[in-house]
Chain A
Amino acid sequence: MMEPRFSRRGFLVGAGGATALGAGGVAFDGAHAPAAAQEGGLPDYAAWKDADALIIHSRNTMETKRGAVGSGGLTASDRLFIRNNLPSPDASITADPDAWEIAIEGVARPGTMTLGQLKRLGVTSEASVLQCSGNGRGFFTHGASGSQWLTGAAGCVIWTGVPVAAIVEAMGGPAEGATLMTSTGGETLPDGVDPASIMVERSVPIAAHAHAMIAFEMNGAPLPLTHGGPARVVIPGYYGVNNVKYVKRLAFGTQESGAKIQTSGYRVRPVGEGGAASQPSMWDMTVKSWVTHPLTDPGSGRVQIHGVAFAGPERASGVAVSLDGGQSWEQARFYGPDLGRFAWRSFVMEADLAPGVYAVASRATAEGGSVQPEDFPPNERGYGHNGWRAHAVELTVA
């Protein structure tokens, strides 16, 4: 039997993160508790979601509880997190998905096509991880603004859509010298605000278009408004913000979008600094994993410890699990179908646990050799946290 060996800085406890401690051992700021929003329940546009599986941070931000992302490789649609930068448009836009219009610009023969027309050009399907740039923000202790996501602003789903490459080819290829693909969202903007200051428009390196699609289905059902229906851009391996919802324009060119969300938003910089275009943009995701079960006392004896691991644009190649806060590691095993390099893998490690306290951590490795780091440096907006230590779970076995 594995004996508990445990002495450590701070660990995240339990399913709801009730007594969450950051790496510095500082108690989680009570003001960030989502209780207020929880009282209100689910807003209309998300009424079909499984509220019991979600932590509701606000009307436009809800994450999947740590133990609820699913252990079969895919996340159920009604449990998938929601993160809307702006309120979603009226539900009427999903009434006739094929009539939705998307302007394609920066190609040899630009034009506006309906989703119905685009569907004639090709079809593809990909399982991929959708993860918010700020997933894990709640594990930082420097008080970054925004939703205090723990592990649940991420899920793995199957998208079906029209390959962007097929669209570009049908329209004569990208404009000469194009280096970027820019997607514009169809949200309604309020009066009295400069559109560029709040519109959702994101540019990514043009290479990303090889795997990108205009998705119209998620997990085998028409893409709901809640997740960007009737059509959204999906760029496997890229952070959520680049997967623009209700997409109404796709453009190829050399100029990054002038929208604030591109120029100064979603930029990684030191704590205290403002955002600027010179700083790294939240584009491709990094190698990451976390344990999803057990999160509360499983009782002593044999236990299956499982979790999820992925590596952004790469394939996750392995994951190690520690029961003693990283002093020793053992290789876990992937189980379930391999849904491709952009999907996450479920992993399991069997352990015989004697009564005691365990610090259960997981550490993923990517095919290219990069390894999930122990810590991730605090940054102004609390982006990109993949440090295994802060994602560890303290387990007390009675």
Chain B
Amino acid sequence: MPRPVAAMAAGLAVAAGVAMADDLAEGRRLFVEGTEPACAICHSLADAGAEGEIGPSLDELRPDAARVARAVRGGVGVMPAFQETLSEDQIAAIAAYVARAAGGG
């Protein structure tokens, strides 16, 4: 079952402050619909309700934030590079969110 990000964010708000929870929510939003094409079209990630099958399942891959950020910046295989369309802050938000939601750190 997907862990709703709101609950996750609430948990984190206690642990790490409200700002970080906001970043995670923004990371989730970017993941689901904020990039062109959206991460969710190609990847599955239960927390985001994403069931894309083009790329690896992020729940299985469990990448850490650095690995996500690298992939998003430069692209991998048929995955496009996003460094020209996303800011570093946005990439950091997506990376932190994916790592957290997939359990990779």
Chain A residues in contact with chain B, CB under 8 A?
Answer: 29, 31-32, 36-37, 39-40, 58-61, 85-87, 143-146, 190, 192-194, 197-200, 260-261, 264-265, 274-275, 380-381
Contact = CB atoms under 8 A, between A and B. Distances in A.
Contact of A58 (B61, B64, B71, B105): B61
A367 to B, nearest CB: 32
B77 to A, nearest CB: 5
Contacts of A58: 56-57, 60-61
B53 A87 contact: yes
Contacts of B56: 37, 58-61
A380 B104 contact: no
Interface stretch (B1-9, B12-20, B78-86): B78-86
Interface string B48-76: 00001110110011111011001100111
A301 B98 CA distance: 52
Given A190-B42, A190-B54, A86 B37 contact: no
B60 A59 contact: yes
Given A87-B54, A190-B42, A261 B60 contact: no
Given A40-B60, A85-B77, A274-B81, A145 B52 contact: no
Contacts of A61: 56
B102 to A, nearest CB: 9
Given A265-B78, A274-B81, A143 B66 contact: yes
Contact of A193 (B41, B53, B83, B105): B41
A143 B41 contact: no
A146 B56 CA distance: 10
Contacts of A85: 77-78
Given A145-B70, A145-B71, A86 B57 contact: no
A98 B12 CA distance: 58
How would you classify the secondary structure of chain B's contact residues: helix, strand, loop or mixed?
loop
Contacts of B75: 145, 264-265, 275
B67 A260 contact: no
Contacts of A146: 76-77
Contacts, number: 83
B78 A198 contact: yes
Instruction: Report the 10 A-B pairs with minimum CB-CB distance, sorted nearest first.
Output: A58-B56, A31-B64, A198-B78, A145-B76, A145-B71, A193-B37, A146-B76, A36-B62, A145-B70, A36-B60
A274 B67 CA distance: 17
29 contacts: A31-B62, A31-B63, A31-B64, A31-B104, A36-B61, A36-B62, A37-B60, A40-B60, A58-B56, A59-B56, A86-B78, A145-B70, A145-B75, A145-B76, A146-B76, A146-B77, A190-B53, A190-B54, A193-B42, A193-B54, A197-B37, A197-B78, A198-B42, A198-B54, A198-B78, A264-B81, A265-B75, A274-B83, A380-B74
Interface residues of B, number: 28
A200 B61 CA distance: 23
A86 B55 CA distance: 7
Contacts of A274: 74, 81, 83
Nearest to B70: A145
A29 B41 CA distance: 28
A31 B105 contact: yes
A197 B54 contact: no
Interface of B: 37-38, 41-42, 52-54, 56-57, 60-64, 66-67, 70-71, 74-78, 80-81, 83, 104-105
A29 B66 CA distance: 11
Contacts of B41: 190, 192-193
A342 B66 CA distance: 39
A37 B67 contact: no
A145 B74 contact: yes
A143 B70 contact: yes
Nearest to A34: B61
A146 B71 CA distance: 8
A189 B83 CA distance: 24
Contacts of A86: 54, 78
Contacts of B61: 36-37, 58
A259 B52 CA distance: 21
Contacts of A200: 78
Nearest to A200: B78
Contacts of B64: 29, 31
Nearest to B40: A192
